[in-house]
Chains A and B, each alone.
Chain A
Amino acid sequence: MTVPSISRRTLMKGTALLLASTALARQALAQDVPKGGRLVVAADSEPKNLNPAIVASNGVFFIASKVIEPLAEASFDGKDGLAPRLATSWEGAPDGLSVTFKLRDGVTWHDGKPFTSVDVAFSALNIWKPLQNLGRLVFANLEAVDTPDDYTAIFRFSKPTPFQLIRNALPVVTSVVAKHVFDGSDIATNPGNNKLVGTGPFTFAEYKPGEYYRLARNENYWDKDQPKLDEIVFRVLPDRASAGAALEADEIQLAAFSAVPLADLDRISKVEGIKVISKGYEALTYQLVVEINHRRKELADLRVRQAIAQAIDKKFVVDTIFLGYAAAATGPVPKNAPEFYTSDVATYDFDPAAANDILDKAGYKQGADGNRFKLKLRPAPYFNETRQFGDYLRQALAVIGIDAEIVNADAAAHQKAVYTDHDFDLAVGPPVFRGDPAISTTILVQSGTPAGVPFSNQGGYVNPELDKIIKQASETVDTAARTDLYRKFQQLVVADLPLINVAEWGFITVARDTVLNVSNNPRWAVSNWGDTALQS
């Protein structure tokens, strides 16, 4: 996969020019960057389990990815969009029943023991497959891992498993942990989940709850040129307004994951010595989705769903709610996944008059108060933008005579109401696209998911044709045929609107000018930062 940089630029056009210029400057410096120094970074949460082999989530990766490495990391210019980490090469068998990884020689764990294929086999069979939230799906058919020598691991599958899926999943689901740390213990309660032992460029030095995580330079890192920094300190700053102030006061040098609120970016970008960067999140694209409860009879009617899609002004949403740091979505696969993306799908242009017309013709007459029917709308509480979009959607629906009542709740209550109790008509959700439609995208529309599974088909949508394509794609080993099936998947979803994709967005990094080599891969914030340096 070659990542066409044009689509990235157009997607994040707000700061594209600024980026292009700083990227060139960084490239020139990359040859000879200074060594040493402490980088202080804003962190907004303290995950209770810091082991990325068990919990594959951005909050965990943000800290753990510097200590524990995956087999491969996402890359802007590498083959298939990947750069080697603990594996130097990977190859799938034509029958889809095995994948062979060649592992890096001369790697040692932070406690001095050598890294071998046994660690990979242990991580895969004892952690990724049975315990990890996303690995349970990707490695569902993993049967055995052969280790013919210390530097070869052969994954064997009981059913043909598409190599394309394994490859795309590598950065997210393959964090390798040491067998000697976890073997023979209860993995869930092992202290190694929080006192990380890895192979990465930084060692886990200290955690002071409520204050900071400190990572120290790994003197024995396999890449002799790295790391450039002596220390990374993740400073816990729960209040978003303080992250911006801390950057201005130079108490922290970097804030990732939009820790500085979008509304403050314009002001802070004018502060001397601070730059705003929208690059580096291409492989972590979040999607703004209107989730629909198909159990509700009006919403089971395609015409109503089409009318809702036409009532939403995507451009307004991108410009006003995301202040331009997002792109309008066309379907369930974002443009940042060019391997799968297709623009050849039905479109629903913003046209409230046409939407009203459809609803009139469909027999949903406006009452004396102008309303056709009432709906319960639950915006997810995870981001400011999902809540703001909830407010917008209420107004947009009012224009076409649908009276939506907003119900706000905290994370636990929202999860329970939408995913377990199905107590909603419309919900606003922020699912993440994780490199391959099979990882966390098809589950949004596939039928048969039991109640209580987060970010799944909570609307009870059933479409046998779509289910068939999803199943076929999950078994298709041929990359081109599999890609084609996912194009068809997008077309079907957009035609029948089980949910409405409104926008897709990445996060924003704000950093001092002194931080070098920022955002140089599509998962930068959750990558190892081995080449990140500080200009003294």
Chain B
Amino acid sequence: MKRAIFLLRRRAISAIPVLLIVVIFTFFLLESASGDAVDAYLGSIGGGDAALRQSLRESYGLDQSMLARLWLYLSSLARFDLGWSVAFNRPVGELIAERLPNTLLLMGSATALSFGLGSALGILAGARPGSARDRLLSIGSLVVYAIPSFWLGLVLSIAFSVRLRWFPIAGIETIASGRTGLARALDISAHLVLPVGALALIYLALFLRVMRTGMVEAWKLDFVLFARAKGLSRSRIVLRHVARNALLPLVTMLGLQSAAMLGGSVVIESVFAIPGFGRLAQEAVNGRDAPLLMGIIVTSAVLVISVNFLVDLVYASLDPRIGASEGGA
């Protein structure tokens, strides 16, 4: 417990400069792109005149200097105010709060599924390296990994929604159904099956391969040889000695993958029309909505930092050597 608090404090302090760098870097990146929110908006409504353009630019504060806008943004951010979305004409915080839960649900389920299934299959493959089962799983995972996620999403929806009609084709729940409680939870689950499946399948392959490689390595370690010499049963060696050791890199990867999966969910949210965080980011880019995009990036950064913190905790509990010296302080 003491160790957890220590880690949390250290993480929180280091997070502030990280966030600041992310914000400033993003701001200048957006500035350097040609065109702004007014250009994007006028294009989307099919035109207007010069006076309209000028008044829009003033109302969005785009007539102010670049540094003035950066300062304005940073000072409102310091007050935990994420600003006003130009493309949606609503507070950024509100938009994010509305969309984030859907993405967390999608990503959380997909991560749990790909991690759980991926490590289980990895154990199966790594239990007897070089066996026919191992080769089948390795090649299968490589094939799945090579499939683009949007294509997999489309194939799944054509097979299971259009042809078989087992699952709804799109959305997070049945529109305007008025369902509540358990009925609503079941409805949402049914809608999540295909997108979670598509997203998890891609990442499953990664976890499988890392687990398998870790297992292959672990077989060569001395204590495994010792365990075998002791005459322990094979299944006990596989689970208690080999797999547990091979799990460590997998946990590290879990932290890294959380960021990658956020990116992957953009595509899946688009294909399955899920009103999530990734799609919001896409809309922010299309509308050149700088405050919204910054809000999304800041939130994602906080999210990734938090996931990595949790991963550290899990790691520390799996491997007592980690953080031991600091924990004693």
Contacts and interface: CB of A to CB of B under 8 A. Distances in A.
Given A414-B35, A452-B53, A238 B40 contact: no
B172 interface: yes
Contacts of A368: none
A413 B35 contact: yes
A206 B33 CA distance: 36
Interface string A433-472: 0000000100000000110111110000000000000000
Interface in B50-105: 50-53, 59, 86-89, 95, 98-99
B47 A415 contact: no
Interface residues of A, number: 60
Interface in A185-215: 188, 194, 206, 208-212, 214
Contact of B46 (A251, A440, A456): A440
Interface string A38-64: 001000011111000001111110000
Given A133-B46, A136-B49, A246 B37 contact: no
Contact of B36 (A194, A237, A412): A412
Nearest to B158: A245
B48 A238 contact: no
A398 interface: no
A290 B157 CA distance: 39
Contact residue range for chain B? 35 or more
B176 A417 contact: no
Contacts of A245: 154, 157-158, 161-162, 169
A58 B169 contact: no
B327 interface: no
The CB with the most chain A CB atoms within 10 A, among B52, B87, B169, is that of B169
A316 interface: no
B35 A209 contact: no
B48 A133 contact: yes
B273 to A, nearest CB: 5
B49 A453 contact: yes
A419 B38 CA distance: 12
B88 A209 contact: yes
Contact of B49 (A137, A214, A238, A411): A137
B187 interface: no
Given A210-B279, A414-B35, A415-B40, A239 B271 contact: yes
B209 to A, nearest CB: 30
B115 interface: no
A481 interface: no
B189 interface: no
Contacts of A249: 161-162, 165, 169
Contact of A454 (B36, B47, B88, B176): B47
B303 interface: no
A288 B174 CA distance: 39
B47 A210 contact: no
A340 B20 CA distance: 59
Interface string B250-280: 0000000000000000000011110110011
The CB with the most chain B CB atoms within 10 A, among A233, A238, A414, A450, is that of A238
Given A245-B158, A412-B39, A412-B40, A453 B48 contact: yes
Interface in A101-130: none
A412 B87 CA distance: 12
Given A48-B89, A211-B175, A245-B161, A236 B275 contact: yes
A248 B162 contact: yes
B275 A210 contact: yes
A188 B59 contact: yes
B128 to A, nearest CB: 42
A40 B158 CA distance: 19
B35 A412 contact: yes
Interface in A414-433: 414-417, 419-421, 432
A373 interface: no
A47 to B, nearest CB: 8
Interface string A385-429: 000000000000000000000000111111111011100000000
Interface string B164-201: 01001111100110000000000000000000000000
A48 B42 contact: no
Given A236-B275, A248-B162, A411 B34 contact: no
Contacts of B273: 235-239, 242
B46 A209 contact: no
Given A248-B162, A251-B168, A412 B99 contact: no
A133 B49 CA distance: 7
A136 B56 CA distance: 15
A293 to B, nearest CB: 17
A187 B273 CA distance: 32
Contacts of B162: 245, 248-249
Contacts of A421: 34
Interface in B97-124: 98-99
B104 to A, nearest CB: 15
B154 A455 contact: no
A40 B279 contact: no
Contacts of B271: 239, 241-242
B118 to A, nearest CB: 27
Given A59-B45, A238-B273, A450-B50, A416 B168 contact: no
B45 A452 contact: no
Contacts of B282: 238
A432 to B, nearest CB: 6
Contacts of A307: none
B279 A238 contact: yes
A248 B157 CA distance: 11
A264 to B, nearest CB: 12
Nearest to A453: B50
B288 interface: yes
Interface string B143-168: 00000000000100110011001001
Given A239-B273, A241-B271, 19 more contacts: A48-B86, A48-B87, A208-B175, A211-B275, A214-B175, A233-B175, A236-B273, A238-B282, A242-B273, A249-B161, A411-B35, A411-B286, A412-B33, A412-B37, A412-B39, A415-B39, A416-B36, A417-B34, A454-B47
Interface of A: 40, 45-49, 55-60, 133-134, 136-137, 188, 194, 206, 208-212, 214, 233, 235-239, 241-242, 245-246, 248-249, 251, 382, 409-417, 419-421, 432, 440, 449-450, 452-456
Interface of B: 33-37, 39-53, 59, 86-89, 95, 98-99, 154, 157-158, 161-162, 165, 168-172, 175-176, 270-273, 275-276, 279-280, 282, 285-288
30 contacts: A46-B88, A56-B45, A57-B46, A58-B46, A133-B45, A134-B46, A134-B47, A188-B59, A209-B88, A209-B275, A210-B276, A210-B280, A211-B275, A214-B176, A238-B282, A239-B270, A242-B169, A242-B170, A242-B272, A249-B161, A249-B162, A249-B165, A411-B286, A412-B37, A412-B43, A415-B39, A416-B34, A416-B35, A452-B53, A453-B48
